[in-house]
Structure 1
Amino acid sequence: MGTAEDLELAEALEALLQRVACSQADSDLESMAGRDMSLTQFRCLVALAVEDEAIPIHQLAEQLHMSLPTAGRTIDRLVAQHLVIRREDPHDRRVRRVCVSAEGKQVVTGIDKARHEALLAFVHSLDPSDSARLQDALRPIVGPTSPQQHRLEGRHA
């Protein structure tokens, strides 16, 4: 079960993550509203952005735990907005493959930037001494990588 100190640390981490997650959620909602995008469209776009190549629509549906018809309708809307490219599979004409378009990549980059800015706003809301202590505590845990490297590594993990 853990010691009282473990429980206290877990609760403190939960509170910290909740504050950070709320700022991220606000940022994501603003990004979706700014593009008149549904949550399902947002999830599909972000999921496709981490793929190195076009994937079949049924694979995307499975990955996001949605029905194939829902995934298909969502892709239709993203294609209409020029955020996703849909092509016939060269080996199986029954399969449609999808990938993020250049415009879609720009949108995802904007979402990432907005998330980063939300984190910066959270950091700026901290007392400077708390910020320094948090940074000192996190440094041995997250290592010496830059935030940009850490985000990119997390995307392709």
Structure 2
Amino acid sequence: MASGNDLGHRHHRDDREAGEALTDRARLMAAIMDGQRRMQHLLASERSDPLLSLHLTLPQLKILLLLSSRGSASGRELSDTVGVSLATMTGIVDRLVGQDLVVRGEDPRDRRVRRVELSPAGRTLMEGIVTAGNARMQSILSRLSVDELAIVERATALIAAAAEDERDAER
């Protein structure tokens, strides 16, 4: 039978080990975030090239990004999200329609509501923005061994799954 003193030492050791685990977790998370930041800076110029060549205003780009992630939205949803009046949003969408980047359509649930979504050209543009820098990343990955690539693949899958869980929890 353990004495009270033995139990106290055991609890102290458990608390210390838990504190060390938290410290290790925080240290590892900080190291991962630092590595991610370094990679973002190394790839920033190639990732920003498609953005720099665009002739879009910031509100127009925001709309394209929203539609890229949401699929479609009403003018009211877009104006509320971007923080502009419905009249201003109508003008922004008109210009995007004129550039063949979005299309308007009827809402199947309410014929009075017009939905906005990316056109095929808009989807192509957004895909180019999202995948910018992939050739450089391919070149970087080609420098790794098969064993190193397996580690990166597993880590990437874990991070992507956690990001999907986070997104689903927010919905």
Question: In which range does the TM-score fall when normalised by the shorter chain?
Answer: 0.5 to 0.7
Q: Which has the higher contact order (CA 8 A, sep 6+)?
A: 1
Q: Does residue 111 of the first structure (1) align with residue 129 of the second (2)? A: yes
Counterparts in 2 of 1:14 and 1:37: CA distance versus 1, 3 Å: same
Partner residue of 1:45? 64
Q: Give the alignment's TM-score, normalised by structure 2.
A: 0.61
* Greater than 6 Å deviation, 4+ residue runs: none
Partner residue of 1:139? 154
Cα drift, residue 9 of structure 1 = 0.7
Cα drift, residue 10 of structure 1 = 1.7
Q: Secondary structure at the match of 2:116?
A: strand
Q: Does residue 79 of the first structure (1) align with residue 94 of the second (2)? A: no
Does structure 2 retain, via aligned residues, the 8 Å contact 1:32–1:39?
no
Equivalents in 1 of 2:62, 2:99: separation in Å?
15
Does structure 2 retain, via aligned residues, the 8 Å contact 1:32–1:38?
no
Counterparts in 2 of 1:139 and 1:71: CA distance versus 1, 3 Å: same
Q: Greater share of helix residues, 1 or 2?
A: 2
Q: Does residue 10 of the first structure (1) align with residue 29 of the second (2)? A: yes
Report the AA paired with residue 99 of structure 1: E
Q: How many residues align?
A: 143
Does structure 2 retain, via aligned residues, the 8 Å contact 1:32–1:42?
no
Counterparts in 2 of 1:57 and 1:116: CA distance versus 1, 3 Å: farther
Any idea what the Cα deviations from partners look like across 1:1-37, whole Å, max 9, x if unmatched?
A: 7633223212211112212333565445321221222
Q: Does residue 128 of the first structure (1) align with residue 144 of the second (2)? A: yes
Cα drift, residue 115 of structure 1 = 4.4
Q: Does residue 66 of the first structure (1) align with residue 65 of the second (2)? A: no
Equivalents in 2 of 1:142, 1:118: separation in Å?
20
RMSD: 3.7
Q: Give the alignment's TM-score, normalised by structure 1.
A: 0.65
Does structure 2 retain, via aligned residues, the 8 Å contact 1:57–1:68?
no
Cα drift, residue 47 of structure 1 = 1.9
Any idea what the Cα deviations from partners look like across 1:46-84, whole Å, max 9, x if unmatched?
A: 2212334x420221233x442235544432321221101
Q: Secondary structure at the match of 2:100?
A: coil
* Structure 2 gaps, min length 5: 1-18
* Structure showing greater Rg: 2
* Structure 1 gaps, min length 5: none
